[in-house]
Structure 1
């Protein structure tokens, strides 16, 4: 799940409160490229009796392709995180400046970067904040349209950055005591043959597993991915990828059910018993 520490709509406290209302018992906060919301979220989770799993969703590169790697059950106090987060902050700021310049070339307001910063608040600035800024500027009728016309894959605002290599991301997650899990593997616009190559490459690099159940994935793909987990001897996870209560396709705590002994929830049940 995501909070206002990155591109979510709810503060960490609000997010945990909503999760409690939905009877969620195990929850991972995985904001993009920042650990800033973990302390607040953990405090509220403890107060409400929710088993909190500290996490992060890190942007990285594999063969010049951008991926998202989840770090689950990390230690936020690990000494390496401060320098790593600062480095990612610089990359995101540089990327935001390039996105703003390109959008101005498409007749966005001169202050589009400042508008996006306001939308981001104290969180990491990203494309969803530019989508909100474009909506408020009257250039689009919805945030979805902003992505369709300006910010989605292959559009003018789809700016690549020199993100850390995937092997570096796996290393820091595991050094901090966490599990490195590839996020939403079917969302990288790959053929399944290419996806098998990716998963095999990540297995060789030491990844712990990959997400297998999340909004939008089909049962056919779940079966195919489960076979890959068996072949590569990897763990699997599930997640709602929740960002905003207005986004009904990513309901808080909702994702397809998967029964397998490879699922990380069994490990969390053992480490964090009810």
Structure 2
């Protein structure tokens, strides 16, 4: 039986494992088709695909773009695209610069409250990957400014705190166009995570479909309730969107995001991989 996990992260963005370690763990979990979808980056893709070939699983090109819809932050996963496409490469370069500018601003804000050297510390922890708030949080723990990660966010980095620097992400239509230009499939990531009313969620999916989007994640992670999954199926049917599944894996010690934990796509939804050249087992 084929097991798809089309949403996960390595340490090339905000995950814990290297691309090789992630692929190895996915293979051990029984995943047969994997997409590494690091945030705004394909830096780990070549490594993941090379290791996937050695362990006998299919590693599909993937990325998770940040964008804006109706002034809300939304994530769109791009799948099965040409990773050498110039438009996509320009997009990842642009997003990387945006993220670097945000990291610099976070460091400037933290310096205002006496926390100096945080950018260098966060960059060292990132090890060449994108720098995000979790890296700043770990640095603050390491230097003794806070007791733990939770306290770092509560005091300095969480919503409304001094290190909560808002990012100017592109509109959702722009991101969908990037993915489409690269011959990929654009998918709304973890649609239930945005805490939209059902009416708003349906509007998001309708606007996404009108912009050229192809699918939504019908199941995200292991703790989604059956009724929520049924409703995602209904939204797919109403909007004529395809369905995807993904764990949103970041770290080994988070069981509700374990690789392969999202299970099988329910009946009544056309899978996003229906038109891809992949071998699907019964």
Asked whether the two chains share a fold, i.e. TM above 0.5, the reply is: yes
CA 94–192 in structure 1, closer or farther in 2 if over 3 Å, else same: same
Where 2:34 maps in the other structure, the secondary structure is strand
2:23 to 7, 16, 20: 16
Give, in angstroms, the shift of residue 270 of structure 1.
6.0
The aligned residue for residue 106 of structure 2 is 99
The aligned residue for residue 210 of structure 1 is 216
Where 1:80 maps in the other structure, the secondary structure is helix
Does residue 191 of structure 1 match 2:193? no
For 1:175 and 1:26, locate their aligned partners in 2 and report how far apart those are by CA, in whole Å: 23
Give, in angstroms, the shift of residue 82 of structure 1.
2.3
Structure 2 unaligned blocks of 5 or more: 1-7
1:4 to 1, 11, 14: 11
- Ranked by relative contact order (alpha carbons within 8 Å, sequence separation 6 or more), the top structure is 2
Where 1:271 maps in the other structure, the secondary structure is coil
- Deviation string 1:86-125 (CA, Å, 9 cap, x unpaired) is 1111110111112222333444x30111111111111111
Give, in angstroms, the shift of residue 142 of structure 1.
3.1
Does residue 73 of structure 1 match 2:80? yes
The aligned residue for residue 135 of structure 1 is 141
Query: Structure 2-normalised TM-score?
Result: 0.89
The aligned residue for residue 119 of structure 2 is 113
For 1:140 and 1:17, locate their aligned partners in 2 and report how far apart those are by CA, in whole Å: 34
Task: State whether residues 4 and 122 of structure 1, in contact with CA within 8 Å, keep that contact through their aligned partners in structure 2.
Answer: no
The aligned residue for residue 176 of structure 2 is 170
Moved over 6 A (4+): none
The aligned residue for residue 4 of structure 2 is none
The aligned residue for residue 232 of structure 1 is 239
Task: State whether residues 60 and 169 of structure 1, in contact with CA within 8 Å, keep that contact through their aligned partners in structure 2.
Answer: yes
Task: State whether residues 83 and 89 of structure 2, in contact with CA within 8 Å, keep that contact through their aligned partners in structure 1.
Answer: no
Query: Structure 1-normalised TM-score?
Result: 0.91
For 1:154 and 1:193, locate their aligned partners in 2 and report how far apart those are by CA, in whole Å: 27
For 1:72 and 1:86, locate their aligned partners in 2 and report how far apart those are by CA, in whole Å: 18
For 1:154 and 1:186, locate their aligned partners in 2 and report how far apart those are by CA, in whole Å: 22
RMSD, matched Cα: 2.1
For 1:80 and 1:16, locate their aligned partners in 2 and report how far apart those are by CA, in whole Å: 27
For 1:255 and 1:193, locate their aligned partners in 2 and report how far apart those are by CA, in whole Å: 25
> Which deviates more, 52-61 or 206-215?
206-215
Task: State whether residues 117 and 125 of structure 1, in contact with CA within 8 Å, keep that contact through their aligned partners in structure 2.
Answer: yes
> Which deviates more, 219-228 or 201-210?
219-228
For 2:173 and 2:187, locate their aligned partners in 1 and report how far apart those are by CA, in whole Å: 12
The aligned residue for residue 40 of structure 1 is 47
- Deviation string 1:43-69 (CA, Å, 9 cap, x unpaired) is 000111101111000111112221110
